[in-house]
Amino acid sequence: MRKVKVSAFSVSLDGYGAGPHQDNENPLGVRGFELHAWFMKTAAFHKMHHLVEGSEGVDNDFAARSFENVGAWILGRNMFGPIRGPWADDSWKGWWGEEPPYHVPVFVLTHHARPPLAMKGNTTFYFVTEGADAALRLAKEAAGDWDVRIGGGVATVRQYLTAGQIDEVHLAFSPVLLGEGENLFAGLNLPKLGFHPVQTTAGEGATHVILKRD
């Protein structure tokens, strides 16, 4: 059955999914890359970015699985880039170069309209100004029988969680304390939202926890 899911979402031990002060130099916020050290070592990550080797094992299994059966993605504006306000032009094409790692339609939440952006590898970014519900509807239509993956950032995941629109969450807890940034759990009551843990697995660089909604 088709699901709306969050997969391989890295979180610090104190609950932060991104560091503070995102900008061109710090796309995931200050120290944000530390959260993803487990992922960036995997063979799945290396293959995605046309690099050699990469580690096998538990972390790699979870990383590879996170891309399976995904027919569309949803990203917040900050995940697409550091630019704020109206688009000055169409020159910014994301953090990922000419061939982003998605290979399916990606719907970007924004308040400012922009034409669709087709990239190499079958990724097209669609900029949705009508809100989160509209983006989810479009993503489901594009995905067909496949899953929709909510890619982040933190505010976008929280928005869909509180709306009761996410079926499954895979969190990768990294052995890092950030102390500040964007906290995934602040003010959320996950049991009241219907979530319960169904799997906890220790990987080489992160502990993987799967939550499902009743």
Q: 176-187: per-residue pLDDT in tens?
A: 999 999 999 999
Residue 140 scores a pLDDT above 80: yes
> Which residue in the block uniquely carries the two structure tokens 């550091």?
82
Specify the pLDDT at position 82. Answer: 86
pLDDT of 83:
84
Domains of the chain: total: 1
Whether 147 maps to a domain, the answer reads yes
Which residues have a Cβ under 8 Å from the Cβ of 33 and sit 6 or more positions away? Answer: 40
**The model's pTM:** 0.95
- The predicted-structure confidence for 38-61, as pLDDT tens digits, reads as follows 999 999 999 988 888 899 999 999
Does the pLDDT of residue 1 top 80, yes or no? no
Q: Is residue 116 part of a domain?
A: yes
Range of the domain at 48: 4-19+27-83+99-213
Asked if residue 88 is part of any domain, the answer here is: no
Whether 35 maps to a domain, the answer reads yes
Is 14 inside any structural domain? Answer: yes
Whether 89 is in a domain gets the answer no
CATH number of domain containing 45: 3.40.430.10
Dihedral of the alpha carbons of 181, 64, 121, 53, in degrees to the nearest 10: 100
- Residue 123 resides in a domain: yes
